Amino acid sequence: MSAQHSAAAVSGELLAQATAWRHDLHRHPELAYGEHRTAEFIARQLTQFGLQVHRGLGGTGVVGTIRRGTGRRSIGIRADMDALPIQETSGVEHASSASGVMHACGHDGHTTMALAAAALCAQLPGLDGTVHFIFQPAEENEGGGRRMVEDGLFKLFPCERIYALHNWPALPAGACVALDGAMMAALDTFEIIVRGRGCHGAMPHEGVDPILAAAQLVSALQSIVSRNVDPLQSAVVSVTQIQAGDTWNVIPDSCQIRGSTRWYEAAVGNRIAERIPHLARSLAEALDCSADIHYEKRFPATINEPSAARLVRDVAAGIGMPVMDAHPSMASEDFAYMLQAVPGCYLWLGAAREGENPGLHSPRYDFNDAVLSRGIQLWVALVQSCLSRP
Ligand SMILES: [Zn+2]
Ligand SMILES: [Zn+2]
């Protein structure tokens, strides 16, 4: 990065304000598609900074736009707004005031960094182009990113490139990881109902035991990754729920199995999606049962466009952030839907704390405020790098 692209400084005043916003958002967490107070706050701030504000995409989504000069170049910066159904035990002074709901994934921090970056970008001289700050609902499980895309996000707000970050407590505070290609895995879920015929537990020969078939199926499902997937590819098949029966001495009619699968390559995902119903049907049949299978495609893999990832690494290094290498994660992220529509990059911002360092989705987690200024600087430097007048 040249000197003229050096990031606008995050003043002590802005940082204090951003920290106050973060704590306020943390105190008032809202679940998927219920982010009304959060969206209201974001829209009010963006309006104050002088951005054009659009509301309602994907329900509670908010988009704030800065247009300068001829406006031909355009980028999007996305932050997620939702919290999780977890009872907070962090003990921090700004802990959640909502029972059973908390910002355990740091989306309060993501929203804050994008807001503060928008405030700084609105004041930047020398820009020529458009930047859209996109605040999405329902990242956790509910596909708010997909809903915004389906509601016409990129038709209303065309972006040549789209960027998002996630704080990452497993990485050193202030470090940046932006991989070429896969960053987060795809996710599908499945539900299998194995049906037999209930009977007395003492007379199993008078019925058909679905629990025995389900138990064998759970074991057999583990053959998919070990026997059907190329050992040099990555995949996970996890059975996470199994439910049947009500008492000691009755063989039930049916047994329900639920779980999820993860992978990066579509061919691997297709193979898993084909093997699970096949195993379920044939094993059930071998034991005189039947199987109803519901297999659901959920999130695609989060795949970075290499040139966008390279730009993020260059910009991060240019503002003095350590740029690290890492394995992609087998967790999933609904920014994947936006990356399917528009090329771009999803990056991790290292957020480790000294001493106890609770992970994402822990009831003791709290976003690390020490990395706020890094995230803000990174977004501003990226906007400058993409949209500065030559
Ligand atoms: Zn999360
Ligand atoms: Zn998250």
The pLDDT tens digits of the residues spanning 110-162 come to 999 999 999 999 999 999 999 999 999 999 988 899 999 999 999 999 999 99
Distance 140 CA to ligand 2 centre (A): 7
Examine the fold and report which residue of 299, 324, 359 is the final residue of a domain before the chain moves on: 299
* 245, 118: one domain: no
Ligand 1: centre distance to CA 303 (Å) = 18
Instruction: Quote the CA–CA distance of 167 and 349 in Å, as a whole number.
Output: 5
Backbone angles phi, psi at 25, to 5 degrees: -65, -40
CATH number at residue 143: 3.40.630.10
pLDDT (0 to 100) of residue 173:
98
Q: Residues 292, 345: one domain?
A: no
Q: How far apart are CA 384 and CA 87, in angstroms?
A: 40
Q: How far is the CA of 332 from the centre of ligand 1 (A)?
A: 9
Name, in order, each residue with C-beta under 8 angstroms of 169's C-beta and a sequence gap of 6 or more. 351, 352, 353, 357, 358, 359, 360, 365, 368
CA of 44 to the centre of ligand 2 (A): 24
Domain identity same for 216 and 168: no
Same domain, 81 and 71: yes
The first and second tokens of residue 143, run together, are 């596909």
The closest alpha carbon to 359, from 331, 335, 322, belongs to: 331
Ligand 2 mean position to 83 CA, how many Å?
Answer: 9
List C-alpha distances in Å: 176 to 76, 316, 378.
19, 7, 10
Low-confidence ranges of the chain (pLDDT < 70): 1-8, 71
Same domain, yes or no, for 306 and 216? no
Residues 93 and 177 in one domain: yes
State the pLDDT at residue 389.
79
Q: Both 237 and 257 in a single domain?
A: yes
Q: How confident is the model at residue 3, as a pLDDT?
A: 37
Helix (H) or strand (E) holding 274: helix 266-286
Looking at the structure, tell me whether residues 256 and 165 fall in a common domain: no
Ligand 2 is an ion; its neighbours by CB within 5 Å are 105
pLDDT for position 120: 97
- Chain segment 30-77, per-residue pLDDT in tens: 999 999 999 999 999 999 999 999 999 999 999 999 999 986 899 999
- Ligand closest to Cα of 107 equals 2
From 268, 299, 330, the end of a domain falls on 299
Cα–ligand 2 centroid distance for 191 (angstroms): 25
Ligand in nearest proximity to the CA of 166: 2
In terms of DSSP bridges, do strands 290-299 and 74-80 run parallel, antiparallel, or are they unpaired? unpaired
Quote the domain boundaries for residue 249. 186-299
Element (H, E) at 349: strand 344-350
Q: How far is the CA of 97 from the centre of ligand 2 (A)?
A: 20
Q: With contact defined as beta carbons under 8 Å apart, do 76 and 344 qualify? A: yes
pLDDT, residue 377, reads 97
Whole-number Å distance, alpha carbon 20 to ligand 1 midpoint, is 22
Same domain, 9 and 137: yes
Distance 160 CA to ligand 1 centre (A): 27
Total domain count for the chain? Answer: 2
Q: How far is the CA of 345 from the centre of ligand 2 (A)?
A: 16
| End residue of a domain, out of 251, 273, 299 | 299
User: What percent helix, strand, coil does the chain show, rounded to 5?
Assistant: 35, 25, 40
Ligand 2 center from residue 80 Cα (angstroms)? 7
Distance (angstroms) between ligand 2 centre and the Cα of 382 equals 21
Residue 132 and residue 256 in one domain: no
Whether residues 289 and 328 fall in one domain: no
Token reading at 51:
């951005």
Pairing of strands 344-350, 176-177: antiparallel
| Ligand 1: centre distance to CA 297 (Å) | 19
- How far is it between the farthest Cα atoms of the chain? 83
Q: How many other C-beta atoms can be found within 10 angstroms of the C-beta atom of residue 115?
A: 24
Q: Which ligand is nearest to the CA of 81?
A: 2
Residues 69 and 100 in one domain: yes
